[in-house]
């Protein structure tokens, strides 16, 4: 690792690194990834262990404050989060301005950005207490916003949060309850939902987190920063891959069509890529994909869904790709998005809700990173440099001479 800041200050160095493949933008004590080993740690704890033994709100506490909570700290944190789950009634009118067929991610970018209008004048981000309240509001309100975006797309009435339910169960309640029918949250689904939230909670300086940090580095309102993160996450090379992946698996349809798609993924003249495969940092198995694969088996089994064709295609595609020299040489393995869509589909979510669910899970990561950045006394506005390749200085040409 070369710290080039001193050299830069002396005017001795200028680095060119498109896509930031080898440039660290910050120091962080939140999440650690060893891409060669396929290891992911939140505050030092392995993701596999947290997935098995912890739950999402505890992980939120861990990411925000750096340590696992005691029982009392956890109860207090839950109480502080749940009291912020409601949205201002006026926000309902804001939703109504969107077309019914808007993608829920588009609605979320707009609504989360609009939240900055509700918490702007009152918010002094230089005050650590106000940063704390902003973080709690964000974690509490994102599920309500995502569920409302879903309800709006269905033309169903909005369902208010229930603070007697846990975080994941409350989200399912807001998505699947309809006033005319009794709805009981299935504990199997609530557990699976919680697991998906946990696995997506943070992933160090990925594109959307870097976007949130960059936006926040100017001192912008945190809701506006998270809206920027949501916009970045939406792309199919990032969080949008979970929707794209399930659509691809459905399009493949049956095991016998896999070789055709593998051949397309390898063809340099075809823009097609295997969605849910490959990662900028992991050059080994994404540990989240392993947990997700097991969870897909467990959840479908518990729900009594046998011989799910999409899961069969996914497993066979993984097997064939991992034996293919192209994928082996380029170290392309399934990532977190490869199996998550299968679970979400089994839970009853349409593909358009996959990325909003990713966004609400990742909100704690974004906001933890935002808090960490603002708490750093050496924090500077993010301002990448460029390598200019345009025209040299030249004289203006009058229009009649062009």
Q: Alpha-carbon distance 373 to 79, whole Å?
A: 26
Q: Is 279 a catalytic residue?
A: yes
* 276 sits near ligand ACO (criterion: CB under 6 A): yes
For ligand ACO, the closer CB: 21 or 378? 21
For ligand ACO, the closer CB: 178 or 263? 263
DSSP 321-365: HHHSHHHHHTT--B-THHHHHHHHHHHT--GGGHHHHHHHHHHHH
Q: Which of 76, 188, 81 is nearest to 144 (CA)?
A: 81
Return the range that interacts with ligand ACO (CB under 6 A); candidates 62-70, 209-217, 299-307, 327-335.
327-335
Q: Which of 65, 361, 109, 64 is nearest to 215 (CA)?
A: 109
Out of 274, 295, 346, 357, the residue judged to bind ligand ACO by CB under 6 A? 274
* 342 sits near ligand ACO (criterion: CB under 6 A): no
Q: Which of residues 2-31 bind ligand ACO (CB under 6 A)?
A: none
Out of 61, 223, 277, 370, the residue judged to bind ligand ACO by CB under 6 A? 277
Q: Alpha-carbon distance 110 to 333, whole Å?
A: 34
* 335 sits near ligand ACO (criterion: CB under 6 A): yes
Q: Smallest distance from the beta carbon of 125 to ligand ACO, in angstroms?
A: 28
Q: Alpha-carbon distance 146 to 171, whole Å?
A: 9
Annotated catalytic residue within 166, 194, 202, 337: 337
Q: What string marks each residue from 240 to 259 as x (binds ligand ACO by CB under 6 A) or -?
A: -x------------------
Q: Alpha-carbon distance 372 to 64, whole Å?
A: 9
* 330 sits near ligand ACO (criterion: CB under 6 A): yes
* 279 sits near ligand ACO (criterion: CB under 6 A): yes
* 278 sits near ligand ACO (criterion: CB under 6 A): yes
Nearest-Å Rg of the Cα atoms of the chain is 22
For ligand ACO, the closer CB: 28 or 153? 28
Q: Is 76 a catalytic residue?
A: no
* 290 sits near ligand ACO (criterion: CB under 6 A): no
Residue 212 near residue 224 (C-beta atoms within 8 A): no
* 332 sits near ligand ACO (criterion: CB under 6 A): yes
Number of residues that bind ligand ACO (CB under 6 A): 18
* 341 sits near ligand ACO (criterion: CB under 6 A): no
Q: Which two tokens stand for residue 122?
A: 């009152």
Q: Smallest distance from the beta carbon of 274 to ligand ACO, in angstroms?
A: 4
* 237 sits near ligand ACO (criterion: CB under 6 A): yes
Q: Smallest distance from the beta carbon of 191 to ligand ACO, in angstroms?
A: 22
Residue 347 near residue 192 (C-beta atoms within 8 A): yes
* 175 sits near ligand ACO (criterion: CB under 6 A): no
Q: Which of 314, 293, 297 is nearest to 305 (CA)?
A: 297
Q: Smallest distance from the beta carbon of 333 to ligand ACO, in angstroms?
A: 10
Out of 55, 151, 173, 238, the residue judged to bind ligand ACO by CB under 6 A? 238
For ligand ACO, the closer CB: 236 or 382? 236
* Residue 321 buriedness (CB in 10 A; 0-12 / 13-18 / 19+): buried
Give the DSSP H or E segment for 34.
strand 31-34
Show Cβ contacts of residue 335 under 8 Å, excluding neighbours closer than 6 positions.
Answer: 241, 276, 277, 278, 279, 282, 286, 288, 289
Query: Reduced to 3 states, what is the DSSP secondary structure of residue 236?
Result: coil
Give the residue at shortest CB distance from ligand ACO. Answer: 278
Q: Smallest distance from the beta carbon of 85 to ligand ACO, in angstroms?
A: 26
* 59 sits near ligand ACO (criterion: CB under 6 A): no
**How long is the chain?**
402
Q: What is the DSSP letter of 96?
A: T
Q: Smallest distance from the beta carbon of 341 to ligand ACO, in angstroms?
A: 11
Residue 373 near residue 365 (C-beta atoms within 8 A): no
* 361 sits near ligand ACO (criterion: CB under 6 A): no
Return the range that interacts with ligand ACO (CB under 6 A); candidates 48-56, 84-92, 238-246, 308-316.
238-246
Query: Reduced to 3 states, what is the DSSP secondary structure of residue 269?
Result: coil
Give residue 307's Cα distance to chain centre: 29
Active-site annotation, residues: 279, 337
Residues found near ligand ACO in the complex (CB under 6 A): 237-239, 241, 265, 273-280, 330, 332, 335-337
């Amino acid at each position: 690792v070369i710290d080039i800041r001193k050299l830069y200050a002396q005017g001795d160095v200028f680095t060119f690194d498109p896509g930031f493949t080898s440039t660290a933008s910050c120091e962080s004590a939140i999440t650690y990834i060893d891409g060669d080993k396929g290891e992911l740690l939140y505050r030092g704890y392995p993701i596999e262990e947290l997935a098995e033994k912890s739950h999402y709100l505890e992980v939120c506490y861990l990411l925000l404050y750096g340590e696992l909570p005691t029982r009392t700290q956890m109860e207090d944190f839950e109480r502080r989060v749940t009291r912020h789950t409601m949205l201002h009634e006026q926000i309902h009118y804001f939703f109504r301005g969107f077309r019914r067929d808007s993608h829920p991610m588009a609605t979320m970018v707009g609504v989360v950005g609009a939240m900055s209008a509700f918490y702007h004048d009152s918010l002094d981000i230089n005050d650590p207490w106000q940063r704390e309240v902003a973080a709690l509001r964000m974690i509490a309100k994102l599920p309500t916003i995502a569920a409302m975006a879903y309800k709006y797309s269905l033309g169903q009435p909005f369902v208010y949060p229930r603070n007697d339910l846990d975080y994941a169960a409350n989200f399912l309640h807001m998505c699947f309850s309809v006033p005319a029918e009794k709805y009981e949250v299935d504990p199997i689904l609530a557990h699976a939902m919680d697991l998906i939230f946990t696995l997506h909670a943070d992933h160090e300086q990925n594109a959307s987190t870097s976007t949130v940090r960059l936006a926040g580095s100017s001192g912008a309102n945190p809701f506006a920063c998270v809206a920027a993160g949501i916009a970045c996450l939406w792309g199919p090379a990032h969080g949008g891959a979970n929707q794209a992946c399930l659509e691809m698996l459905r399009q493949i349809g049956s095991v016998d069509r896999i070789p055709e798609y593998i051949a397309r993924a390898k063809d340099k003249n075809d823009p097609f890529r295997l969605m849910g495969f490959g990662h900028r940092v992991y050059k080994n198995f994404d540990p989240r994909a392993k947990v997700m694969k097991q969870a897909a088996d467990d959840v479908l089994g518990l729900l009594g869904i046998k011989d799910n064709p999409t899961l069969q295609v996914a497993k066979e595609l993984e097997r064939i790709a991992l034996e293919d020299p192209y994928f082996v040489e380029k170290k392309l393995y399934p990532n977190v998005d490869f199996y998550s869509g299968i679970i979400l589909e089994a839970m009853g979510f349409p593909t358009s809700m996959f990325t909003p669910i990713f966004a609400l899970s990742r909100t704690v990561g974004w906001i933890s990173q935002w808090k960490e950045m603002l708490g750093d006394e050496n924090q500077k506005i993010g301002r990448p440099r460029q390598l200019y390749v345009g025209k040299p200085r030249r004289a203006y040409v009058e229009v009649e001479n062009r």
